[in-house]
Chain A
Amino acid sequence: MEGVSYQRFPKVKIRELKDDYLKFELRETDASMANALRRVMLAEVPTIAIDLVEIEGNSSVLNDEFLAHRLGLIPLTSDRAMVMRFSRDCDACDGDGQCEFCSVEFHLHVRCDSDQTLDVTSHDLVSSDPSVVPVDVQRADSVGYDTSEQRGIIIVKLRRGQELRLRAIARKGIGKDHAKWSPAATVTFMYEPEIHINEDMMETLSLEEKREWIESSPTKVFGLDPNTQQVIVIDAEAYTYDDEVIKKADSMGKSGLVEIYAKEDSFIFTVESTGAIKASQLFINAIEVLKQKLDAVRLSEDTEEADDQFGELGAHMRGG
């Protein structure tokens, strides 16, 4: 075994990049690698989320736990998360989670004095750290919404005389512990399909049959070339591995009209972020976390005590 290297050099090609959306190709690697990335993005890239809520006054309709749960789920901008400490590993505050290295404090004090219903939203949360604030869902590119109405995430609605006063502490955490720390809204990948049309057999079809065959796919994968009247692949990735076209070809008596394989070594990733960190950063952080985990594996071969060195990563390796 010694000396044999299975090292591969995967390639990444970014297709589309927005703040909260990333689409890229990952080539020359296998499912284990792709899935590891996906899993890390979902569950192990750290973010900051409200973890402790101290209710000072609550005369709203929702009860304390209800509010705390809602507060926890508000995504906070977490660019600091990678350098922050987990509060349980924090030496500065003995893990009581109240120091600047491991926690961010929020205050919320809203009182309704008008006859109209007052929405308490994530914008009402006052952060002690300007870099950690609730994610602003209001964006320039959000079409179709009146931007003035878009006032953050609603926490609770208040009527006249109702008041909400609380202190919340946000901490670093990972999605494995609670979904509120997951930076990813959606991470998914698909195998890139490889479509081979048997041109000769296709030519035996009439134009009507071709159309019918193309229509049989629920997604727009194939099309007719307007000039040559030939069937062409418009969008291979729209193919959902539903086999409908193959079944159709079989029922037309043209088995083997088209052959579709999944390319085992190339993946198309779609990453959507909650806004806590940018989608691109999410991907980079994921690689970072994955690397740390692999480092831990490598080191643990040499030294037993290396386990402790990696803090919580060590715990993962021990099956935590």
Chain B
Amino acid sequence: MGVAEHLSVDKQFLSAPVKSTVDKFQLLPEFLKVRGLVKQHLDSFNYFVNTEIKKIVRANDRITSLVDPSIYLKYTDVKIGEPSITADNVTDALTPHMCRLSDLTYSAPIMVNIEYVRGSHVHKTIEEKRNVVIGSMPIMLRSCRCILNGKDEAELARLGECPLDPGGYFIVKGTEKVILIQEQLSKNRIIIGTDKKGRLNASITSSTESTKSQTVILMDKEKIYVHLNAFTKQVPIMVIMKAMGMESDQEVVQMVGRDPKYAALLLPSIQECADSDVHTQQQALEFLEKKVKKFTFSNPSQDKEGRAMDILRDVLVANVPVRRGNFRPKCIYVAVMMRRMMEAILNKDAMDDKDYVGNKRLELSGQLISLLFEDLFKTMNSETKKNMDMNLTKTRSNLFDVSKFMMKGTYSITQGLERAISTGNWDVKRFRMHRKGMTQVLARLSFIATVGHMTKISPQFEKSRKVSGPRALQPSQWGMLCPCDTPEGEACGLVKNLALMTHVTTDEEEGPLISLCHSLGVEDLELLSAEELHTPNSFLVIFNGLILGKHKQPQHFANAMRKLRRAGKIGEFVSIFVNEKQRCVYVASDGGRVCRPLVIADKGVSRIKELHMKELRDGIRTFNDFVRDGLLEYLDVNEENNALIALYESEAGPETTHIEIEPFTILGVCAGLIPFPHHNQSPRNTYQCAMGKQAMGNIAYNQLCRMDTLLYLLVYPQRPLLTTRTIELVGYDKLGAGQNATVAVMSYSGYDIEDAIVMNKSSLDRGFGRCIVMKKLSATNQTYGNGTSDRIIRPQKVGSDAERMQILDDDGLAAPGEIIRPQDVYINKESPINSKDGGVPPTGLPDSAYKSTRQTYKGPQGETAVVDRVSLYTDNNNNLCIKFLIRQTRRPEVGDKFSSRHGQKGVCGTIVQQEDFPFSERGICPDLIMNPHGFPSRMTIGKMIELLGGKAGVSCGRFHYGSAFGEPSGHADRVETISETLVNHGFSYNGKDFIYSGITGCPLQAYIFMGPIYYQKLKHMVLDKMHARARGPRVMLTRQPTEGRSRDGGLRLGEMERDCLIAYGASMLIFERLMISSDPFEVQVCRVCGLLGYYNHKLKTGICSTCKNGDNISTMKLPYACKLLFQELQSMNIVPRLKLTEA
């Protein structure tokens, strides 16, 4: 019946008449089909592989010998091949899963075509070589170079890949690594802010292919200075201007603006310049020359004239190019910076907000790898050049071949890329970049953790800053970054996550756009006089931070640009933003901007009509068609300021320019799992975002083929009864991480206080919360330098160790399916005693030359596990490696952690027999009982609605929806309709049931709120945490008990506990805890010299080694650590002496 009902609804939906408001939801799955969840990573990497790498190689394409300039090597082309591995001169194609299993790097060769000169001196021939491998590039999964690209589900399955896996990460040495999205301040943009001393400044971080620099113009004591790292101290602005050829003060004033307000602000600076007797360009340059930072290590001969000029050209606002010695654009740029700063002085509102998302850029894996690759490539080239020159100076008989020297450097590219991605340390010498923690091991705890990890944005700032600004939720984050998904604690608000529909742009060709701007009526800067710069009737046009010129009709210009964009003539991600306040038009095509798609509306009427949606449903139209036909467009944060965006079409007015696609897309992947999040108190959603990543469930379709170090799986994962649209879009309904538990909200037995939950034993018997824990053990059959190697031998069937070797097969490895107990041997390995020198005799080493290095399973006593799988492979050094996967099935026990999807976590307080559980007249018996005190302070109304919706869902056989803000658009069921369904199925509208006590059989006093709620089992389980010890191992040095559960450590009686005992006066207890139970030690003390002696076992007396006798020896006990302290002090020439009195 449920199925029939569902179908009929669908038919109705399809045959429904054209509605006034179009259901735009269908766009979302289309969007995700086209863009995918991790498209930003893939796009960025694809851009690098297809475009950026070619640019880099083209920029450094020639290596010319210094010795003989006619000898050169030139790169003509570069490309990246298919992922493959070359071992023993045989090249094999690689699949990602192969790499995961056998600890390989998923990489493809970087191939170049070269043209070079062969032979020296007389016989010079120009030769060409094609497809020369210069190294291998780790390949991002699902990128255009990955073999998974464009494969369908069946093909993916054949390759051992999960079709739901988003890709976007790398596999380096068998571990999956994500390059986190890095957030940083925009490059090449003027930002007005204040420095530490509260001085106003205008700063710009310039970044070009060759240099990176920061220029700061600041106001100090009424005067304006320029701060540059190349100068020893700040230099007056007027000197800089004069040095750049602006000798006339009037022109500078004109450039800043003739308004007396600005002129007045500039006056003190002009005064200062005149005072220091700088009037001409020559004088200014001489002045600056004195301020240039001297490098201690450079020889004075290099410190020649003209360094100041070079700095002005190459370092000061480096993003503005100086063509043929023309400093005018740079002067104008500096003047504009000054003007912006002065505006901020006159009006504080003109300050820029550093936390504003429009002022931020996200750096993605492609950009980061290109930085690294460029550096490595340049290093390789310089190495090649060095080798080439070295060889040229020597006279060699054989033919000189440049390409041979190149080969030597290839290893460094492969290694450099591999090392950076596997350690996460980005060291680029040219840019003085030393960043740590750029990559992380992909979280594979649950499917959601994986997807969530790919959208994570890591901050550039240090986490310790006390300021709240960067942590606060920025209004400009709307729709771009998830407002809920951020960690708690120190990284709160700094680590962010992308929202569902966010796209991050990649760089776009600048040249055509610039010429387009000019042809659309932008007056070139060169043609403008200083006076015209700030004429009130025109706007500056700024393209990627570069001033292009002026335009008289900015709005016209912007509209024209936008029209061209909608028509697909220019890139869809180009943003045009008219800033009325700054009287500027910003055109941006740079990479790293966040943007999102919106429906275009004309005078408040959506351009998307029902016919378009029908075409979409029929599969004629794709998402890209919508963009191409100008129905949708991408807006970045800045351009959003020029738009009036209506949430729904019905709310659109005549001024409206855009309409949101769906409001729930402001949330990210993790927050999208929460049903009715808009009914919850906001921190609860944040908590759930963190907890959803710890929930156990299914990880991927290929989860059982993987060999992860730790894998948590649920035995019977379910699809949530109350779903959201995001859940369906992401695939959480296919790879769920939880179970629908029937929850009764009531107090029961007192074992449910403080968020504990009471569980039904029969439910657990039937498989609720049952999980599988898999751990990896590995071993290597090492080969040593002297030719010897480890060996794995047959287990002994008799003898003392036979019992511990029962699970071994004849090959000396544990057999799959065997039950493994602690102390069991899982690999019967022997290693040669001498692995350093000597060799192997032809007969092989005798048995006596081996020592046993068998590995035993160390787990908690009494817990057994099963050997799930054993896999053998060869590692990079041609050693045989063995991985064992150990499996354990666990049922929930008291202390295991569970949580609903509303940030309501709790541990299992007790497990109760089903007959003691309350039951309803229908025979419904809850799976778990939750204390009602969890609700009032948490205010998680969403959970209550989830319960209601779930109950209605099981009654009528239809999955109910609870998408965020979904009620008006029908993506969330209303409580009223849910209640109606409940009543139709004989339940109370409020979800409460009449319940009998299972213990007495009497009805309970109150009606009980009962129904299904999706519960997640979290990875924290008591079995992994519980620890107690009576006696056990001790640390060798201090003889005190070891620390930590993993070492079977003692439980520390810490300082605070000690203080309590002191205060209480329980001195004997302190004595017992701190000494007797810790590290008691008997010492011989000499009463005369007060030093420690020793006990002579032959004479059976203590002897003082200082006094050389045993006359005045007393025996006493003290902590071994104390004895150790005495000895250490003695070694530092401090003599502690003990003075003994009779006790």
B767 touches A69 (CB 8 A): yes
Of A8-16, A179-187, A250-258, A288-296, the segment with at least 4 beta carbons within 8 Å of chain B is: A179-187
List chain B residues, Cβ under 8 A from A270: 923
List chain B residues, Cβ under 8 A from A65: 866, 887, 889
- A65-B889, A69-B715, A191-B1003 given as contacts; is B913 within 8 A of A176 (CB)? yes
> What separation, in Å, do the CA atoms of A61 and B921 have in the docked complex?
40
A58 touches B817 (CB 8 A): yes
A interface vs B, CB < 8 Å?
31-32, 34-36, 38-39, 42-43, 55, 58, 61, 63-66, 69, 73, 175-176, 178-180, 182, 186-191, 218-219, 238, 240-242, 244, 262, 270, 272
Cβ contacts B750-786/A at 8 Å (1 or 0 each): 0000000000011101110010100000000000000
CB distance from A78 to the nearest CB of B (A): 17
> What separation, in Å, do the CA atoms of A191 and B772 have in the docked complex?
43
List chain B residues, Cβ under 8 A from A73: 766-767
Given A38-B915, A69-B770: 4 more A-B contacts, CB < 8 Å: A36-B1001, A39-B915, A73-B766, A218-B988
A69 — nearest CB in chain B belongs to which residue?
Answer: B767
User: Would you give 29 A-B contacts (Cβ < 8 Å), ordered by A?
Assistant: A32-B1001, A34-B1001, A35-B1001, A43-B914, A58-B817, A61-B704, A63-B772, A64-B866, A69-B889, A73-B767, A175-B762, A175-B914, A176-B915, A178-B765, A179-B761, A188-B920, A188-B996, A189-B996, A189-B1001, A190-B996, A218-B986, A218-B987, A218-B988, A219-B986, A240-B921, A240-B988, A241-B994, A242-B1007, A270-B923
Does B919 have its Cβ within 8 Å of any Cβ on chain A? yes
CB distance from B775 to the nearest CB of A (A): 14
A272 — nearest CB in chain B belongs to which residue?
Answer: B923
A218 — nearest CB in chain B belongs to which residue?
Answer: B983
> What separation, in Å, do the CA atoms of A188 and B993 have in the docked complex?
14
A242 touches B915 (CB 8 A): no
> What separation, in Å, do the CA atoms of A255 and B998 have in the docked complex?
33
A179 touches B914 (CB 8 A): yes
Q: In the complex, which residues 990-1004 of chain B have their Cβ closer than 8 Å to any Cβ of chain A?
A: 993-994, 996, 998-1003
Size of chain B's interface in residues, with CB distance under 8 A? Answer: 39
> What separation, in Å, do the CA atoms of A66 and B889 have in the docked complex?
8
A218 touches B762 (CB 8 A): no
CB distance from A176 to the nearest CB of B (A): 6
B819 — nearest CB in chain A belongs to which residue?
Answer: A64
- A43-B914, A175-B762 given as contacts; is B921 within 8 A of A188 (CB)? yes
A179 touches B762 (CB 8 A): yes
List chain A residues, Cβ under 8 A from B817: 55, 58, 64
Does B426 have its Cβ within 8 Å of any Cβ on chain A? no
List chain B residues, Cβ under 8 A from A32: 1000-1001
CB distance from B733 to the nearest CB of A (A): 20
CB distance from A265 to the nearest CB of B (A): 12
List chain A residues, Cβ under 8 A from B915: 38-39, 42-43, 175-176
B923 touches A188 (CB 8 A): yes
- A42-B914, A66-B715, A182-B762 given as contacts; is B923 within 8 A of A187 (CB)? yes
> What separation, in Å, do the CA atoms of A101 and B1011 have in the docked complex?
43
Cβ contacts B875-919/A at 8 Å (1 or 0 each): 000000000000101000000000000000000000001110001
List chain B residues, Cβ under 8 A from A218: 982-983, 986-989
CB distance from B761 to the nearest CB of A (A): 7
B889 touches A188 (CB 8 A): no
> What separation, in Å, do the CA atoms of A219 and B983 have in the docked complex?
8
List chain B residues, Cβ under 8 A from A191: 1003
B766 touches A179 (CB 8 A): yes
> What separation, in Å, do the CA atoms of A182 and B986 have in the docked complex?
28
> What separation, in Å, do the CA atoms of A180 and B1001 have in the docked complex?
24
- A31-B1001, A66-B889 given as contacts; is B761 within 8 A of A240 (CB)? no
> What separation, in Å, do the CA atoms of A42 and B919 have in the docked complex?
12
A244 touches B921 (CB 8 A): no
A188 touches B922 (CB 8 A): yes
Does B868 have its Cβ within 8 Å of any Cβ on chain A? yes
User: Which residue from B763, B770, B919, B983 sits with its C-beta under 8 Å from A188?
Assistant: B919
CB distance from B431 to the nearest CB of A (A): 51
CB distance from B989 to the nearest CB of A (A): 7
CB distance from B371 to the nearest CB of A (A): 44
> What separation, in Å, do the CA atoms of A187 and B587 have in the docked complex?
72
Ranked nearest first, the 6 interchain pairs of A and B with the lowest CB-CB distance are: A35-B1001, A186-B923, A179-B765, A188-B923, A179-B762, A31-B1001
> What separation, in Å, do the CA atoms of A61 and B868 have in the docked complex?
12
CB distance from A24 to the nearest CB of B (A): 15
CB distance from B702 to the nearest CB of A (A): 12
> What separation, in Å, do the CA atoms of A191 and B887 have in the docked complex?
49
List chain A residues, Cβ under 8 A from B988: 218, 240, 242, 244
> What separation, in Å, do the CA atoms of A240 and B923 have in the docked complex?
13
> What separation, in Å, do the CA atoms of A63 and B889 have in the docked complex?
10
CB distance from A125 to the nearest CB of B (A): 19
> What separation, in Å, do the CA atoms of A304 and B1077 have in the docked complex?
46
> What separation, in Å, do the CA atoms of A178 and B923 have in the docked complex?
19
User: Which residue from B887, B989, B1001 sits with its C-beta under 8 Å from A38?
Assistant: B1001
List chain B residues, Cβ under 8 A from A219: 986
List chain A residues, Cβ under 8 A from B987: 218
> What separation, in Å, do the CA atoms of A39 and B914 have in the docked complex?
9
> What separation, in Å, do the CA atoms of A189 and B1001 have in the docked complex?
9
A240 touches B986 (CB 8 A): yes
> What separation, in Å, do the CA atoms of A215 and B573 have in the docked complex?
59
List chain A residues, Cβ under 8 A from B986: 218-219, 238, 240
> What separation, in Å, do the CA atoms of A184 and B1002 have in the docked complex?
21
> What separation, in Å, do the CA atoms of A58 and B815 have in the docked complex?
13
> What separation, in Å, do the CA atoms of A226 and B868 have in the docked complex?
70
A242 touches B994 (CB 8 A): yes
For A43, A186, A219, A242, the residue with the greatest tally of chain B CB atoms inside 10 Å of its CB is A242
CB distance from A158 to the nearest CB of B (A): 15
A31 — nearest CB in chain B belongs to which residue?
Answer: B1001
List chain B residues, Cβ under 8 A from A262: 1003
> What separation, in Å, do the CA atoms of A262 and B866 have in the docked complex?
55
> What separation, in Å, do the CA atoms of A180 and B920 have in the docked complex?
22
CB distance from B1143 to the nearest CB of A (A): 53
B868 touches A63 (CB 8 A): yes
Q: In the complex, which residues 576-632 of chain B have their Cβ closer than 8 Å to any Cβ of chain A?
A: none
B772 — nearest CB in chain A belongs to which residue?
Answer: A63
CB distance from B920 to the nearest CB of A (A): 7
List chain B residues, Cβ under 8 A from A242: 988, 994, 1007
A55 — nearest CB in chain B belongs to which residue?
Answer: B817
B994 — nearest CB in chain A belongs to which residue?
Answer: A241
Q: In the complex, which residues 285-315 of chain B have their Cβ closer than 8 Å to any Cβ of chain A?
A: none
Q: In the complex, which residues 771-804 of chain B have their Cβ closer than 8 Å to any Cβ of chain A?
A: 772
List chain B residues, Cβ under 8 A from A178: 765
B887 — nearest CB in chain A belongs to which residue?
Answer: A63
CB distance from A53 to the nearest CB of B (A): 12
A35 touches B889 (CB 8 A): no
A240 touches B994 (CB 8 A): yes
CB distance from A319 to the nearest CB of B (A): 13
List chain A residues, Cβ under 8 A from B994: 240-242
List chain B residues, Cβ under 8 A from A272: 923
Q: In the complex, which residues 912-951 of chain B have their Cβ closer than 8 Å to any Cβ of chain A?
A: 913-915, 919-923
List chain B residues, Cβ under 8 A from A241: 921, 994, 1003
> What separation, in Å, do the CA atoms of A238 and B1000 have in the docked complex?
23
For A63, A189, A191, the residue with the greatest tally of chain B CB atoms inside 10 Å of its CB is A63
> What separation, in Å, do the CA atoms of A121 and B509 have in the docked complex?
63
List chain A residues, Cβ under 8 A from B998: 35, 39
B1000 touches A35 (CB 8 A): yes
A42 — nearest CB in chain B belongs to which residue?
Answer: B915
Q: In the complex, which residues 17-40 of chain B have their Cβ closer than 8 Å to any Cβ of chain A?
A: none
> What separation, in Å, do the CA atoms of A55 and B763 have in the docked complex?
25
For B715, B772, B914, the residue with the greatest tally of chain A CB atoms inside 10 Å of its CB is B914
CB distance from B3 to the nearest CB of A (A): 11
B887 touches A31 (CB 8 A): no
CB distance from B114 to the nearest CB of A (A): 50
A36 — nearest CB in chain B belongs to which residue?
Answer: B1001
> What separation, in Å, do the CA atoms of A99 and B998 have in the docked complex?
37
